Homo-oligomer: A and B are copies of this chain.
């Protein structure tokens, strides 16, 4: 069954992480992605370690379901190939620094003049306004500038970068949300439009609750380790062996917890009966709970807590996540055929559509794997293709070079 975006063509001149993560979302939804890469090295993420079968893991992670064409975007003939693709394309995505797309001849106004149904998306580090728009930026830098880093870590330890790329991946999702809304709106208006998002703005949005809490109270949010400022008990607790997470967000759940811990006296204890009191007496509460938990193993407690309806979990490490029964049941890891990698498994998108299912049908392409087929589909003659290769305007994956 085709995906929900079948028939949509995306011209993708993005590199590294955020841009390709965005177009992967559209790719899994059945859009055709024409990934335009620079000659010789292609997308930088191809060489970001660790490598697997010669390809960077970063690249493998976010480039399935795409076609790769190598074009020198600085050459006039290269630009003409892009303009030709734009004329009947649906979506164009760039993640250059501010001004660079215009400089290369791929600014919004230029492409809109070629195709006013085009949805044009810019994904940058800092956005299209403000002094910092000229600055380069990465996920971790935007985490620092948006305040996320300042509230991430244990209470007395140093700050930490969030261990997963929340701003690269989050901004990719916001870009996809904007593009999808623009495509929907185009079915009403008949016109495309410009979509903009950035790592920095995504970071500000993620911290929204903390920004509001500070505006409301004047109390500066701080690092809370595994705890949560608004709820108690909420966090990691020692048991006889390893730590477990317990999350209690209201008084009736707390009463259930007390039953499991066989400390029903706490339910009416004024220090613990209400969430506000529990938050104020967090340290005493946490140590009292740990005293009980230390009498049994993590697995024994999890079984009892689950039976008691308490949100709780072992703190799984990456190897255990891969083999966990729920990862299996939800089929989050999909086997993908790859010429150079046995046993390649890639995480599917965490959303499913019943009538137009998302699928992984093509492994991440080799550099220039689809150069010839894309140009042939555009009606470019074989002699011209050969000439463009010789001039260095385009590049073809060695496996696909004609003799």
B321 engages A207 (CB within 8 Å): yes
Q: List which A162-200 residues lie within 8 A (CB) of chain B.
A: 162-166, 169-171, 173-178, 180-185, 187-189, 191, 193-198, 200
- Provided the pairs A169-B206, A318-B151 are in contact, do residues A141 and B177 lie with their beta carbons within 8 angstroms? no
When C-beta atoms are compared, the residue in chain B nearest to A193 turns out to be B355
Task: Kindly state whether residue A225 has any CB partner on chain B within 8 Å.
Answer: yes
15 pairs from A and B in contact (CB 8 Å cutoff): A5-B184, A125-B311, A131-B326, A147-B321, A152-B164, A154-B157, A157-B157, A164-B210, A169-B205, A171-B350, A177-B180, A195-B351, A205-B349, A207-B321, A211-B333
- Provided the pairs A52-B216, A163-B148 are in contact, do residues A177 and B178 lie with their beta carbons within 8 angstroms? no
B161 engages A226 (CB within 8 Å): yes
Task: Kindly state whether residue A254 has any CB partner on chain B within 8 Å.
Answer: no
Task: Kindly state whether residue A314 has any CB partner on chain B within 8 Å.
Answer: yes
A353 engages B194 (CB within 8 Å): yes
B276 engages A326 (CB within 8 Å): no
Chain B residues with CB below 8 A from A137, complex form: 247, 311, 313
Pick from A52, A61, A170, A351 the residue with the most CB of B within 10 Å. A351
Chain A 250-288 per-residue mask, 1 if CB under 8 angstroms from chain B, else 0: 100000000000000000000000011001000000000
The 4 closest A-B pairs by CB, nearest first: A130-B329, A201-B350, A52-B216, A180-B180
Task: Kindly state whether residue A316 has any CB partner on chain B within 8 Å.
Answer: yes
Chain A 207-248 per-residue mask, 1 if CB under 8 angstroms from chain B, else 0: 111111111110111011111101100111000000101010
- The range of chain A's interface size is 35 or more
CA of A333 to CA of B137, assembled, Å? 21
Stretch at the interface among A43-51, A76-84, A289-297: A43-51
Task: Kindly state whether residue A315 has any CB partner on chain B within 8 Å.
Answer: yes
Task: Kindly state whether residue A309 has any CB partner on chain B within 8 Å.
Answer: yes
CA of A338 to CA of B236, assembled, Å? 38
A158 engages B332 (CB within 8 Å): no
Task: Kindly state whether residue A339 has any CB partner on chain B within 8 Å.
Answer: no
